[in-house]
Structures are given as C-alpha cells and as structure tokens.
Amino acid sequence: MIPDALSELLSATQGQRDATWQGRSLLVINDDWGELILSRHGGHLLHYAPAGERGWLWTTSTPKAPPEALRGGVPLCWPWFGEPEDGNGPMHGLARTAQWRIDAVDEDVEGGVEIHLSPETQLHDTLAPRLVIHANAQRLAMELVTEHIGETPIRLTQALHAYFSVPDTHQCRIEGLGGARYLDKLADYAEAEQNGVLGIRGALDRIHHSSRPLVLDDGHRRLRIAKQGSDSTVVWHPGDKLPSDVPERERLNFICIEPACTRLDPVWLAPGAQHVLSMHISPESPAQE
C-alpha cells in the first residue's frame, strides 16, 4: 500500500525516471518485471511490486517533511539501532535522514535492476555504508554493507526496518520464530520464549534472537523473509497508540519485520573489515512449506 500520489507517479512512468514527492527526490521504475520507488533522502526504498501483484511494502500517506525520517518502506537504521548508547544522536542513527546518491542502476542478472547507493557526505568518522538493491519479478534483496575505515575496533548495531503491507495486521501469522528467545521492549526488556506461530493482536515490540528465515502469512499471500549477517529479528506494531504520521485508517495495513543486529548480537568490526546485513524476500506458496 502506497499513497495515491506515488501510484500516480508510477502510472505516468514507463521505464525509469526521476521525480519528486513531499520534498524528496525519487527514482521511479515501472517496467515489465515490476515497480520500484526509491527516495534519495535516507537511501529509502518506498515501494516494490512484482509485475501483476500488489506492493509488498507499506508507506504512510501522511509523511513528515525532510529532514525528518519517512515512515514506511525500508528505512536504514545505522550505525545504531534504537537510541545511541551515549545518548548523543538521533533515534535509529544517521543513515535514514541523510542524503544518498544513486551510484549505478544496472540490469539485474535475473531480468530486473541492481541499484547501488552511497551517502552524499561522510556520516561517521570510522564507518562507511553503502546499499545494494536487487529487484526483479521473483524477489527483492537488500544488502547494507558497512566498511571500517578507521584504526581501532568499533561496535555496530543496525536494522533494515521493513514495513510490510498487509490487508489486516490482526489476521497475520509469522512462522519461523517458534522456540526463539526474545526481549519484550514493552515489558522493560523482559526475556521470554516464543511459543509456535506469532500472531499480532495489539501493540508489539520484540527483539527475537534468531537467524532463521520466516514466512509472513497475511491470509492472502505468503512471503518468505530470509537474511544474512543478523541474529536478531525485530517484530513491531504500535497497536492503538499510533505515531503522528500514521493515519487511523492505515493502522492495520502494516507489520514491521526487521533483520537486525541489536544488543543481542552487536557487530564488532576490526580496521579494514566489513559487514553485510542482507534481507531476501520472495513469494512462498503453501505447497512449499
């Protein structure tokens, strides 16, 4: 689900072009394999849909204006997830409100596109990120690559904060977390174990200690969500206490499932080393279970 204005941009696009929306510079793609919208503000993927399908991602219809972060799509939480440990810096880091440049848009080996991005300015003294997006008619993949360009080891937390579009959050089931320990952020980080399939009935904010692939079943389709470089999976929905940039009519149109590196699995990078956090999304039919 995306705002009407973004749908209109897609309808007016054949192939790919630049456009603007809500003060943000966009790359808009409408091709035989499917659709994609990418914002240079935040290096932020706002929309992806394979040909003939509804979009896999949700983006709010009432976004905050830049330089504020936009809610929806896949924000980049980097180089920290949540609040900074030293209390110095914005929630979820620097990447999601920075300006990114599109370095290359190439043909994907499977018939879609491969997009390379990097920040326009240096965001951190010793860490340098870049983003690679692969999109075609069968899958969406994102790789957030972090290189250590400093001289001493450093700690990194991060997330691909994906907002998945669903018809009704309360009808969703998330398979693959059974038996995983989790921290409940709504209960002062109390630890518990997930029992079977996860359903959403109200506010939820959990960090699951798991590297396993998941399946999001929204009652109409099943999406397989796999990842690499992450032992944390965050599942979040605000319930009835909506952020100011989420309209009430859209309250049950999304669920966040986030490959992450959190306090459970921080990454320690040595000088010259790099880390890749990736997410791979593809359809799964019941016969594939």
Residue numbers annotated as active site: 161, 258
What CA dihedral angle connects 189, 195, 197 and 203, to 10 degrees? -30
The rounded Cα 154 to chain-centroid distance in angstroms is: 24
Half-sphere exposure of 277 (CA within 13 A, CB side): 29
Specify the DSSP element, H or E, that contains 258: strand 254-261
Total Cβ atoms within 10 A of residue 106: 9
What CA dihedral angle connects 144, 147, 150 and 156, to 10 degrees? 40
Cis before 67 (ω within 30)? yes
Residues with Cβ within 8 Å of residue 159, at least 6 apart in sequence: 77, 78, 81, 92, 232, 234, 258, 259, 260, 261, 262, 277
* 129 token code pair: 């990120």
What CA dihedral angle connects 185, 91, 78 and 251, to 10 degrees? 60
Distance, CA of 208 to CA of 189 (rounded, Å): 11
Question: Across the strands, what pairs with 35?
Answer: 30, 49
* 254 token code pair: 């999304």
